[in-house]
Structure 1
Amino acid sequence: MTTLQTSTPLRLHHLHLRSSAPQVLAAFYEDLFELRPATAPDGLLALAGGERAVVIHSGQAGEAGTLAMAAYAARSAEELAALRARLGDIVQDAGAAGEVFFRSGAFTVTDPQGRRLLFGVPRTRREPDSMAARLQHTVFQTTDLAAVVDFYVNRIGFTISDEVVADDGAVATCFLRSDDEHHSLAFFQGSNNVWDHHCYETTCWNDIRDWADRFARVRRGIFFGPGRHGPGNNLFFMVTDPDGNRVELSAELEQVGADKTPGVWPHEEYTLNSWGRGWIRT
C-alpha cells in the first residue's frame, strides 16, 4: 500500500484559523510565538517565524476557535505533483489563501465531514527560532471515527501509529503519521465535530520549562500537564490562546519506522498522562 511516509512525506507547516477578533489573536502569536506580519490577500492576516506560521481569517461572531485549513508541506514540487496525481478527483484548487506560504500549485482536499487540508511546497526555507517550537501536529474530535480514519488512511495515505481502545473494544482515538514522526494528525471519537488542539514540538525538557515560564510572564496558566503521553511518549503541557484554541508544547515525540505495527492502548487516564491526571474528552 502506498503511504505518505514511504512515498511523499509531509509535515504540518501552518494553520488557517478563523477568528472574530483577528487582531487580538495575532497579537498573542506575535508576542508569545515571535511571529511577524507577512503579506496576505485582503481579509487575511498572515504571521510567520522560523518554523511556525499562521493565517488568520476574519470571521463572524461564533467562529473563534475553528480551523479553516491545516497546511501540510511536501519536500519538493515533484513529490507534490505525485501526491496530486494519486489523489485525483478529490483535489480542489487552493486559491489565493492557499498560496500565502506555499508556491503556486498548492491544492486542498476535503474530508467526509468537511475538514480541509492544504498541501503545497513552501516558498522559503525555514530557519531555527530563538526558542525552538516547530508546528508539528493537530487533533480533531469526530462523531464518526471509523469513516474519518478510513479516508485519511486509505485515500490520503496517512499511517496509523497507535490506537486507544475502550473497554467495549471500540477505537476511541487514532494517531496518524505522514512521515517518521509518531503523529502529525489525530482524531478521537466524540459527540461533536470540532477542532481539539494544535502542537509545537520543542527539543528537550528544558525547552518545555522555558515555554512554561514564557506563558507565566503573561499570566496564561497551564490547564493540562505537564506530563508524558503514552502514545508518542512525548512530554507536554497545554495552554489556550485568546480565542480558546488549545495550544500544546511537546518534546521527545517518538520516531516511527514505516514497518511498525500499530500500538494498542487502553482508554484510561494513564494513557493520556503517565505522570498523573488525564484529560478525557467526551
Structure 2
Amino acid sequence: MTTLQTTTPLRLHHLHLCSSAPDALAAFYQELFELQPVSAPERLIALAGGERAVVIHQGESGGLAMAAYAARSPEELAQLRDRLAELVCDSGPEGEIFFAPGAFTVTDPQGRRLLFGVPRSGRQPDRLAARLQHTVFQTTELKTVVDFYVERIGFTISDEVVADEGTVATCFLRSDDEHHSLAFFQGSRNVWDHHCYETSCWNDIRDWGDRFARVRRGIFFGPGRHGPGNNLFFMVTDPDGNRVELSAELERVAADQAPGVWPHEEYTLNSWGRGWIRT
C-alpha cells in the first residue's frame, strides 16, 4: 500500500485560523510564540518564526480554515499531486504565503481543507523550541474520515482508542515517522479540537509553563503523559479559546509497525492522572 511515510513524507508546517478578533489573536501568537508579521494578501494576517507559523482570517472564532503540510521537495510534491489528481484544487494566493508556487489543496468528505506545498525557505531553530507538529479534530463520521485519509491521502494509523463495545473512538494518523501529525475522535460535532507544538525535552515543557504563567494563562489539562504517542504534554487556550498543546518526547514509528490499540479510559489520555474525555 502506498503511504506518505514511505513515498512522500509530510510535516505539518502552518495553520490558517479563523477569528472574529484577528488582531488580538495575532498579538497572542506574536507575544507568546515569538512570531513576526510577514507579507500576506489583503485581509489576512501572516506570522512566522523559526519552526512555527500561522495565517489568521477574519471569520467565526474557533475554526481552522486550513492545515498546511510541507513536502520535502518539488519532485515529491509533484508525485503526490499526480496521485491525488482528481482531488486537487488550486491553492490561490493564500496557499503561497509560506509555500512556493505549485501548492495545492484537497478537501475531505466533511469539508476540511488541507494544503500541500514546498516551503519557500528553510526553517531555523527557535529561541524557545516548539515546532508546530500536529492538529486534531472531532468528527461525527470517524470511519468515513479515517478511510479517506488512509486509503486516499496515504496517512498511516499509528494507534486507535477503542471503547468497551469495540468501536473505535479515536484514531492517530502519521504522515512521516512521528507518531501522529493528524488525529480524529468520534464526537457529536464536526469541530477543530486542538493543535500541538513539539518541544525538545521536559525542561522545555517547564519553561513554556512558566511563560504562560507569567501572563496568567493557566494550564487546563496536564501536565501529564499520553498513552498513544507516549509524549509529555500540557494544554492552554489562546484568546479565541483554541486549545494549544505543548509536547515533548513524541514517539517515532517504523513504517511497518502495526497499529496499537488502547482502551477508552483516563489512563490512555493521561497516564499520570486525570484525563479529559471528550463526548
User: 1:154 — aligned with what?
Assistant: 151
Gaps of 5+ in 1: none
Say if 2:133 is the partner of 1:139: no
Of 165, 187, 192, the residue aligned with 2:189 is: 192
Say if 2:258 is the partner of 1:257: no
Distance 1:152 1:261 in 2: 17
User: 1:215 — aligned with what?
Assistant: 212
Q: Structure 1 stretches (4+) deviating beyond 4 angstroms? A: none
Distance 1:226 1:131 in 2: 18
What is the SS of the residue equivalent to 1:55?
A: strand
User: 2:239 — aligned with what?
Assistant: 242
CA RMSD of aligned residues (A): 0.3
Of 262, 265, 279, the residue aligned with 1:268 is: 265
Say if 2:46 is the partner of 1:46: yes
Distance 2:58 2:48 in 1: 17
Distance 1:66 1:88 in 2: 27
Deviation at 1:97, TM superposition (A): 0.6
Distance 2:74 2:4 in 1: 15
Distance 2:43 2:157 in 1: 37
Percentage identity across paired residues of the two chains:
84
User: 1:126 — aligned with what?
Assistant: 123
Say if 2:277 is the partner of 1:280: yes
Say if 2:173 is the partner of 1:176: yes
User: 1:17 — aligned with what?
Assistant: 17
Say if 2:96 is the partner of 1:116: no
Normalising by structure 2, what TM-score? Answer: 1.00
Deviation at 1:116, TM superposition (A): 0.2
Distance 2:150 2:120 in 1: 28
What is the SS of the residue equivalent to 1:140?
A: strand
User: 2:6 — aligned with what?
Assistant: 6
What is the SS of the residue equivalent to 1:242?
A: coil
Normalising by structure 1, what TM-score? Answer: 0.99
Deviation at 1:30, TM superposition (A): 0.3
User: 2:222 — aligned with what?
Assistant: 225
Deviation at 1:7, TM superposition (A): 0.1
Distance 2:12 2:253 in 1: 17
Count of residues in correspondence between the two structures: 279
Of 145, 148, 163, the residue aligned with 1:166 is: 163
Distance 1:172 1:43 in 2: 38
Gaps of 5+ in 2: none
The amino acid that maps onto 2:41 is P
